[in-house]
Structure 1
């Protein structure tokens, strides 16, 4: 069964357009234990929302996990993991953090409860609501 995620990246470092250009990206550099555990829980085929953090503060696209967790190539300690992701679709309308906060159906999203968490699970209902707000409803 497909699991859903939200993954944050600073657009100046690696944004949605970079992923689209590359066709596939390595999601590495995660150095938070809970976020790393979320990466370890991902399976090939899972879907994730691409969230621009720091600037933009909005969900901008849908990604597919193309490779489950493997050792982070940028980590010399061997402690951390990475996954590979591929772009699926841009959101027709980006969904801002402000819109997420204003929506009662999204009140329990991890992005609101743990704002510094860079990789978080998303429930099926939250996923559907984000896509509805974006105009990408399934």
Structure 2
């Protein structure tokens, strides 16, 4: 990853950690999951609602506290999820997980990940992977409850 690109990705993470998309509880969630990273104390409660009568995500909301990586990752996920079906969001989670396990090797699919591609650099730091994955693991649990 080039230095200018790494700087851009760092800025995406900082922006999302400050101006958090989807932050706040949903009024009537279809599913809810709490996850905690015992290593560093990051916590998230993530909620998902579906469009009535479909398997399409209407909204993803979350509350929690933690480092800028965990907060930004939840924000990016909240921006990506609405409009996707349960299967599509699960596929996106799978691609994100593969990127986070890559240790920065390879080229993740930006068309699938959107701003989440900014976390590719985080994948090089094993202790930070759990921070980035926290919201995605919670979302996966919600999807299992909704399926």
| Greater strand content | 1
- For normalisation by structure 2, the TM-score amounts to 0.28
- For normalisation by structure 1, the TM-score amounts to 0.29
